[in-house]
Structure 1
Amino acid sequence: MESQHDAILDLARAQGLLRPRDLTALGLPRVALTRLVRRGQLVRVGRGLYALPDRPVSEHASFAEVARKHPQGIVCLLSALRFHNLTTQSPFEVWLAIPNKARAPRMDYPPLRIVRFSGPALTEGIEAHMIDGVPVRITGVAKTVADCFKYRNKIGLDVALEALRDAWKGKRVGMDELWQFAKLCRVANVMRPYLESLT
């Protein structure tokens, strides 16, 4: 039993966050999670998510929690802006892009705001970042800016303009990249006057 507990704790160190199904894949009993929580060697950070009690937690820990439970989701829009330091807003929800026909994931915490993407909008401009030991898929800067213009009715044109200005001023994006994603997200006509005013 102790060797099982050690194996689970090693897994928690390696992955940052554990799900019960991670144990099943290794032939370890799920009930061991409950025992380790009782002993104080693991903590339950959310429904079906466990971690070491002393693990370092970053300001983007909620993204790691969402990614561990829903690895196909992509952190986008306001959450991606926050990650890239392109907004002063701090959304309480995690904005998550999923495929058009996928079932919407549910979590008690953190709350999710689901957006549906399809085709190249779902696959292009996605970066993988390690957050608290968990690989998290997040839209890149140029894609995030274009997405903000596409979803300007949900998040506000002022937010999209702030993101564009900050990304450009901070030399985080080039004009070619912005045009590429403006076309991909079908907002080239909307973005054109703002892009032209930058040059």
Structure 2
Amino acid sequence: MMRLSEFLKEGVTSVTIARMEQKGALNQLSRGLYQLPDAPLDGNHSLAVAAKLVPHGIVCYDSALAFHELTDRIPPYVWMAIGPRVWRPEIAQPRIQIVRLGEKEFESGVEQHVIEDVVVKIYSPAKTIVDLFKSGKRQEALYASTAGFTHATQAMRDALRLRKATPAEIAKFAANAGVWEQIVQPRLETLVANA
């Protein structure tokens, strides 16, 4: 999987790429992104495509949960976080939902995974859970809905049960995000006490 700019850097012209695409030797995945037609596809193929299209982005929310196998939901699009001053790309295909995070939030809890030879930045399970609680707090304030908290609590339960996150990791990220005392702490204490 390569971007047009990577081809050009290697000395392959856009005319050559167009010819290869016409002959079926190259598939266009999205504007400026290409892949060989017989390339093996990973179950997380859409995350690799999103990482190429949003090079400064980090996989977050339900997409990160799905990658870490902490949800049964299949996200309808790839959730990508970008920093506060990063250019927000306009992407038609695949469906990518972009959220903007503050500098401190954006840079913490990042893991790197290789999917189809593409380095993909994905938030850790503990960071993802805290991000979901923070999103749930906004949902409650805007829509008077507690669905976000329910989803985040279930993800936290699964992460603790599968040992993909520890209470200490969750507490650290929650304290840094300002959602520890009133939102995460009581739910985490209940889950740990019932374990």
Whether the TM-score (by the shorter chain) exceeds 0.5 is yes
Structure 1 residue 134: Cα displacement: 0.8
Q: Match for residue 4 of structure 2?
A: 20
- Structure 2 residues without counterparts, runs of 5 or longer: 140-146
The amino acid across from 2:158 in the alignment is D
Instruction: Tell me which of 115, 133, 138 is aligned to 1:149.
Output: 133
Query: Secondary structure in 1 aligned to 2:2?
Result: coil
Identity of matched residues, %: 36
Matched, 1:182 2:174: yes
Of 151-160 and 188-197, deviating more is 151-160
The one of 98, 104, 111 aligned to 1:120: 104
Alignment partner of 2:93 out of 65, 85, 109? 109
Further displaced range: 40-49 or 65-74? 40-49
Match of residue 92, structure 1, among 66, 72, 76: 76
Q: How large is the RMSD of aligned CA atoms in angstroms?
A: 1.3
* Corresponding residue SS for 2:188: helix
Tell me which of 14, 17, 21 is aligned to 1:37.
21
Give CA-to-partner distance per residue, 1:81-119, whole Å, 9 cap, x none: 111111111111111100113222111111121111122
TM-score (norm 2): 0.89
Residue of structure 2 equivalent to 1:8 = none
Q: Which amino acid aligns with 2:185?
A: R
Contact 2:84–2:103 under 8 Å retained in 1: no
TM-score (norm 1): 0.87
**Equivalent residue number for residue 155 of structure 2:** 163
Please give the alpha-carbon distance, in whole angstroms, between the structure 2 residues aligned to 1:161 and 1:109: 31
Conserved 8 A contact 1:106-1:112: no
Match of 2:44 among 47, 60, 66: 60
Residue of structure 2 aligned with 1:191, choices 165, 176, 184: 184
CA distance in 1, matches of 2:3, 2:108: 28
For each residue in 1:66-85, what CA deviation from the matched residue of structure 2 results, as whole angstroms up to 9, or x when unmatched? 11121110010011011111
Q: Deviations over 1:21-63 (max 9, x none)?
A: 1122223212111111122221112221111111111121111
- Partner Cα distance (1:79, 1:63) in 2: 8
1:181, distance to aligned residue in structure 2 (A): 0.6
